[in-house]
Amino acid sequence: MSTSLSPLLAPMLSSAAMRAVCDDRATLQGMLDFEAALARAEAAVGIIPAAGAEAIAKECKSNTFDIAALAEAATRSGNLAIPLVKALTSEVARTNKDAARYVHWGATSQDVIDTATMLTLRAGIDALLVDIDRAIAGFAKLAQQHRNTAVVARTWLQHALPMPFGLKLAEYAASLHRSRGRLKHLRQHALALQFGGAAGTLAALGDQGLKVAERLSELLQLPLPEAPWHSHRDRIAEAASVFAIIAGTCGKIARDVQLMMQTDVAEAFEPSGEGRGGSSTMPHKRNPVAAASALGAATMAPNLAATIFAAQVGDHERSAGPWHAEWPTLPSLLLVTSGALAAIVDIAEGLEVDAARMRTNLDATGGLIMAEAVAFALAEKVGKQDAHHLVEAASKKAVTEKKTLRAVLENDATVTAHLSKEKIAQLFEPMAYQGVSQALIDRLLASLKDR
């Protein structure tokens, strides 16, 4: 486990909180926390002396270890736990040679590394939950503020129908809330202690293995699984899938904001600030920097998750290779997911909305965006197919003659025979044609309360 991102680029693609969680020192401390808890658990069961356990725990401080030296030694041993246990044993021996005999008693390298991974995941999930709550609250507030703000709904990047902007925002909040539920489920059900000894049987501890495991589980506050899971990586894969979903949701929101910030659209904007979104050569630019960060992270996340999925295919009770692939990949996935979410928090808490421009864009097609509304009103009089053909012909005429659709319809005797000019005028009010949008907004916002 490591930050796996360049210190130069990490701030653009990850949150400060997640960088702290995935820092090499934090990872090392997680491994040492396992060793300290193991010694205390074994002392509690009577396998090693209590004084020896405390002597071991006293030396389990990551700041006393040389990370570079451990990393170099790991290239020869095949994993970081082996040189760390040797170094810890040496540190303990300096003050208590008898206690040094009991370092890492009955455990194996994978116990140390996998349990440290679980501790990292727990801290990472907690960091994501803080930000996802902020993003949900931000979009929920905006949804209420703009539930009666009309905006163009776009399909295939073309004007389709009018919709309340609040519905779009409520959908953002609800999609993030669903992932909040996934994170909570992960924290409760996917995290688990890994403690199995050399081959998952805890043979070195005789008939005391489960007692030690139970006490170790309590000390680390990690659930005790039915059996060691070292050769089955579904827990890690499930976490990766959730992180990739969150990154994808953030990417979708970022893409919408990026498109709304286009000069030709200009409906909504990221928060502005000194030096934010500028260009190295064009003084007038206001680039979507938060959206770009979220999209960059969302682009990376699926491939990182795919590596975790591939790493499930291991051999027998200890896999050489696939397990190693998890070490840099999982923290990288945590980091980019945090970066995507942090960018979306920034947007959710500071989105600037131009309702006037939204209205201007609704009128940009000369009323064509209301064609469906007219067609269905007319269908009640002449049938759906005939109404569709009438409005389609009127739409083409409006484009060809550069007139508004309303003007063409008001001068079409076939149409006015069934719809008065007053009725036609009503049909061209965008917020009069929103279906059950307001009820949908209420339903989406209500779903956020299910915590």
Dig out the tokens for 90 from the structure. Answer: 């040496």
Dig out the tokens for 383 from the structure. Answer: 């049938």
Dig out the tokens for 52 from the structure. Answer: 């020896």
Task: Indicate the helix (H) or strand (E) that contains 309.
Answer: helix 289-310
Give CA–CA dist 115/195, Å, rounded: 8
Q: For 353, list phi and psi in degrees, rounded to 5.
A: -110, 130
Distance of CA 40 to the CA centre of its chain: 36
For CA atoms 71, 73, 78, 79, the dihedral sign is negative
**Strands 268-269 and 352-353, bridge-based pairing:** antiparallel
Amino acid found at 24: D
What are the counts of helices (DSSP H) followed by strands (DSSP E) for the chain? 20, 4
Q: For residue 269, what are the β-bridge partners? A: 352
Catalytic residue chosen out of the listed positions 318, 357, 359, 447 = 318
Q: Is 318 a catalytic residue?
A: yes
Question: Is 132 buried (19+), middle (13-18) or exposed (0-12) by CB count in 10 A?
Answer: buried
Catalytic residue chosen out of the listed positions 90, 272, 279, 420 = 279
Residue 352, SS3 per DSSP: strand
Instruction: Please tell me what DSSP assigns to residue 149.
Output: -
> Are residues 242 and 205 in contact, defined by beta-carbon separation less than 8 angstroms?
no
Dig out the tokens for 374 from the structure. Answer: 């007219």
> Are residues 446 and 439 in contact, defined by beta-carbon separation less than 8 angstroms?
no
Rounded (10°) CA dihedral 376, 378, 380, 384? -60
Q: For residue 153, what are the β-bridge partners? A: 161
Rounded (10°) CA dihedral 116, 120, 122, 125? -160
Cβ-based neighbours of 338, under 8 Å, separated by 6 or more: 14, 15, 17, 18, 124, 127, 128, 131
Cβ-based neighbours of 44, under 8 Å, separated by 6 or more: 215
The catalytic residues are: 279, 318
